[in-house]
Amino acid sequence: MNCSYESIMIVTFVPEVPNTARQHLQKLLGISDLPDPRWRCHGSSLVTVRLEAVDKVVLEHVGNLPGVRRVFCLSNKERLYKKKVGSVRQPVVIGDHAVVGGDCPTVIAGPCSVESREQVMDIAEMVAEAGAAALRGGCFKPRSSPYEFAGLGELGLEYMAAAREKTGLPVVTEALAVSQVETVASWADVIQIGSRNMSNFPLLFEAGANSLGKPVLLKRGLAASVSEFLEAAEYVLLGRLSTDNLQPGVILCERGIRTFAPAQRFTFDVGVIPVLQQQTHLPVIGDPSHPAGERSLVPALGRAAIAAGADGLLVEVHRDPDHAWCDGDQSLDAASFKTLMKDIKRYSATEVTAG
Ligand code: PEP
Ligand code: MN
């Protein structure tokens, strides 16, 4: 094993015996049961250890301890999200065949929130016809006010699944809490973690660790720096490792940040798209709807994201935006979504992935 004193060691355990395996590891490394700042448990089957004072010879034995599944070593500056020199982006497959981060941009579109079976069915057909590759729709909605509609919950997930059945589009929807992760994973193809939860570290890990191995779409926090955003992705990737899932499965989404510029709801940080792509192998998409706050601005921001090299878009679309229960002001109708789909083909090097 190639570990140095300045390394982070990640150890995963087989699920049946994590407690005893952890104890063996602690003993081997001379780490007592008392809290130790170098040692951190993430869930029950993954620990990370900072190797500052550990005997290198001892490390050779970690992989042979009973119950240890895998051992990884990262230098202090290395991360799972980091792009290795010369390496390319790792596409993420959603559903049976849609790919984010492949040769052409992938558009995920749908309502801000699922309102009824008919509503989501209609919109799914509409976006599929225009060339979207996946359907979005919130069922557990983070709302700034506790008096606003907060989604249909599991009923909405059922409607999303019905829309997938009808159109073949994989579905993307948000989990707001650790307790919702398995439910969302069981219905949806991608678990969205929203901006407000980008720093909810236990949720990030558990979303990555969902038992069905569903990929995660992670939105940038309202005031998150690039490194905070990427470290959040690292939590999700660790979650995936904890279930021995080595497939790439995190999509990053720029959705606007809060600045002093009042002209848009949030300032769309289009420049962060190539910055992220330089630093990570994870695909990066743009959400032009939430920063725009107003539907007339959405197409320009969508085109800008694609022109900047985004691997796709997440767009809010509604059959009757003026009467949407949530975020209608920024939702495109069928005609403007179709136009956007046509336009972004001109801004991307190749075709747009069809559903
Ligand atoms: C959404 O995409 O439905 C959403 C709530 O977005 P954000 O987390 O970016 O505000
Ligand atoms: Mn919304």
Encode pLDDT of 14-45 as tens digits. Answer: 988 778 999 999 999 888 878 888 899 999 99
pLDDT of the residue at 151: 98
Q: Is the CB of 321 under 6 A from ligand 1?
A: no
Please tell me whether residues 107 and 211 are part of one structural domain.
yes
Please tell me whether residues 61 and 170 are part of one structural domain.
no
Encode pLDDT of 235-284 as tens digits. Answer: 999 999 999 999 889 999 999 999 999 999 999 999 999 999 999 999 99
Give mean pLDDT, residues 73-90: 88
What is the 129 CA–ligand 2 centroid distance (Å)? 22
* CA gap 75, 7 in Å, rounded: 4
pLDDT of the residue at 194: 98
Residue pair 269/256 in contact by the 8 Å Cβ criterion: yes
Residue 61: inside a domain, yes or no?
yes
Please tell me whether residues 52 and 97 are part of one structural domain.
no
Take atom 3 of ligand 1 and give the residue whose Cα is closest.
112
Q: Is the CB of 137 under 6 A from ligand 1?
A: no
Supply the DSSP symbol for 87.
Answer: -
What is the 300 CA–ligand 1 centroid distance (Å)? 19
pLDDT of the residue at 269: 98
Please tell me whether residues 315 and 210 are part of one structural domain.
yes
Residue 354: inside a domain, yes or no?
no
| Residue 95, number of CB atoms within 10 A of its CB | 21
**Which domain, by its residues, includes 67?**
7-74
Please tell me whether residues 338 and 195 are part of one structural domain.
yes
* CA gap 117, 186 in Å, rounded: 18
Residue 105: inside a domain, yes or no?
yes
Q: Select from 142, 267, 147 the least CA-distant residue to 198.
A: 142
Say which range, 48-52, 90-94, 138-142, 161-165, has the weakest mean pLDDT: 48-52
Please tell me whether residues 156 and 52 are part of one structural domain.
no
Overall domain count for the chain: 2
Please tell me whether residues 111 and 228 are part of one structural domain.
yes
What is the 330 CA–ligand 2 centroid distance (Å)? 8
Q: Is the pLDDT of residue 82 over 90?
A: yes
Please tell me whether residues 282 and 201 are part of one structural domain.
yes
Residue 126 sits in a domain whose CATH number is 3.20.20.70
